[in-house]
Amino acid sequence: MTTLGLQLTNKSEWIEMFPFGVAMGVNNVRPVMIFKDKAGKRVLPVWLSHMDAGLAVVQANSIYVRGTRSEGMPHEISFQILETLGIEIEKCLFKAVKGNHQYVDLHFKSKKEEKKLPKGLNKLEARADDAISFCMRSGCRFYATVDYIERSRVLEGEIVGMQVSRAEGANPHPYIN
């Protein structure tokens, strides 16, 4: 099967995705975090709030060395709690598109190799827009399936369509809309 010039084998195969950058959506309404695969051929758009997009940029531009404290950084208290519990985030799997939202599974592991986390503590489902800056701060790896990437691109088209139709009938004064 070939889509957009890419040879696809298995739509449910996990592909590692890498943060590429943040762009503004149509009419600067909602920012988009762009992820790309290693070859730079597959692109995953993840819609964020303005605050989370800002945090993602801060996380991407800050130097963080595992095991050292980053004073004043977003999510620092969350990572102090995880450190105290001996837990770290292992990976972020882009999992589902429901309505106009994207969801991820955050996978956690014990820092002690011999110790396994209880079943309820090893995975957490979250909205992608809530989890991206947290995951970037952790330095974890991101994965998505081809199917998820395709569904996210359809979602992107729907969101862009909503933004364009809203903008066409919007009040020209930006503070009243």
Flag whether 27 is in a domain: yes
Our measurement of the distance from residue 174's CA atom to the centroid of its chain's CA atoms, rounded to an integer in Å, reads: 29
Domain count, the chain: 1
pTM of the model: 0.73
pLDDT band (50, 70, 90) for residue 1: very low
Task: Convert the pLDDT of each residue in 17-69 to its tens digit.
Answer: 999 988 876 666 678 889 999 999 999 999 887 777 776 666 666 554 444 54
* The pLDDT value given to residue 47: 86
Round to whole Å and give the CA distance between 148 and 134.
Answer: 21
Flag whether 9 is in a domain: no
Flag whether 175 is in a domain: no
Flag whether 5 is in a domain: no
Flag whether 102 is in a domain: yes
Tokens (6 digits) for 14: 């996990």
Flag whether 6 is in a domain: no
Q: Do 74 and 137 form a contact (C-beta atoms < 8 A)?
A: yes
Range of the domain at 29: 14-168
Tokens 């950058």, located at residue: 21
| Helix segments in the chain, DSSP class H | 50-61, 76-85, 128-138, 146-168
Return the CATH number at 22: 3.10.690.10
Flag whether 135 is in a domain: yes
Round to whole Å and give the CA distance between 169 and 163.
Answer: 10
Flag whether 72 is in a domain: yes
Round to whole Å and give the CA distance between 84 and 17.
Answer: 29
